[in-house]
Amino acid sequence: MHWNVHVQASAGAFTLDARLEGEAAPVVVIGPNGSGKTTLLRIIAGTCRPLSGRIRLGKRVLLDSEAGVSVPPEERRVGYVPQGYGLFPHLTVLDNVAFGLAAGPRRRPGPERRRIAAELLADVECAHLAPRYPATLSGGEKQRVALARALLPVPELLLLDEPLAALDVAARRGLRAYLARHLTKRTRPAVVVTHDARDVHALGSPVVYALEEGRVVQSGSAEHLANCPGTAFIAEFFEAEGAVWSERRAPGRMHRRSNAGGILSTGLSSPSAATPDT
89 is a site residue for another protein (CB under 8 A)? yes
Q: Which of 65, 83, 221, 270 binds another protein (CB under 8 A)?
A: 83
Bridge partner list, 10: 15
Q: Could you tell me if 76 and 68 are in contact, meaning their C-beta atoms sit under 8 angstroms apart? A: no
Q: Could you tell me if 147 and 81 are in contact, meaning their C-beta atoms sit under 8 angstroms apart? A: yes
14 is a site residue for another protein (CB under 8 A)? no
50 is a site residue for another protein (CB under 8 A)? no
**What's the min distance (Å) between Cβ of 155 and another protein?**
8
Nearer residue to another protein within complex by CB, 98 or 202: 98
74 is a site residue for another protein (CB under 8 A)? yes
**For another protein, how many residues bind (rule: CB under 8 A)?**
38
86 is a site residue for another protein (CB under 8 A)? yes
- Piece in contact with another protein (CB under 8 A), picked from 17-25, 83-91, 225-233, 235-243: 83-91
SS (H, E, C) the chain: CCEEEEEEEEECCEEEEEEEEECCCCEEEECCCCCCHHHHHHHHHCCCCCCEEEEEECCEEEEECCCCEECCHHHCCEEEECCCCCCCCCCCHHHHHHHHHCCCCCCCCHHHHHHHHHHHHHHCCCHHHCCCCHHHCCHHHHHHHHHHHHHCCCCCEEEEECCCCCCCHHHHHHHHHHHHHHHHHCCCCEEEECCCHHHHHHHCCCCEEEEECCEEEEEECHHHHHHCCCCHHHHHHHHCCHHHHHHHHCCCHHHHHHHHCCCCCCCCCCCCCCCCCC
- Piece in contact with another protein (CB under 8 A), picked from 39-47, 213-221, 224-232, 257-265: 39-47
82 is a site residue for another protein (CB under 8 A)? yes
Residues 149-178 that bind another protein (CB under 8 A): 149-150, 153, 155
- Piece in contact with another protein (CB under 8 A), picked from 60-68, 102-110, 181-189, 201-209: 102-110
76 is a site residue for another protein (CB under 8 A)? yes
**What's the min distance (Å) between Cβ of 109 and another protein?**
15
Q: Which of 3, 80, 178, 238 binds another protein (CB under 8 A)?
A: 80
114 is a site residue for another protein (CB under 8 A)? no
102 is a site residue for another protein (CB under 8 A)? yes
Indicate the length of the chain as a whole number. Answer: 278
- What residues make contact with another protein under the rule CB under 8 A? 42, 45-47, 72-76, 78-84, 86, 88-90, 99-107, 132-136, 149-150, 153, 155
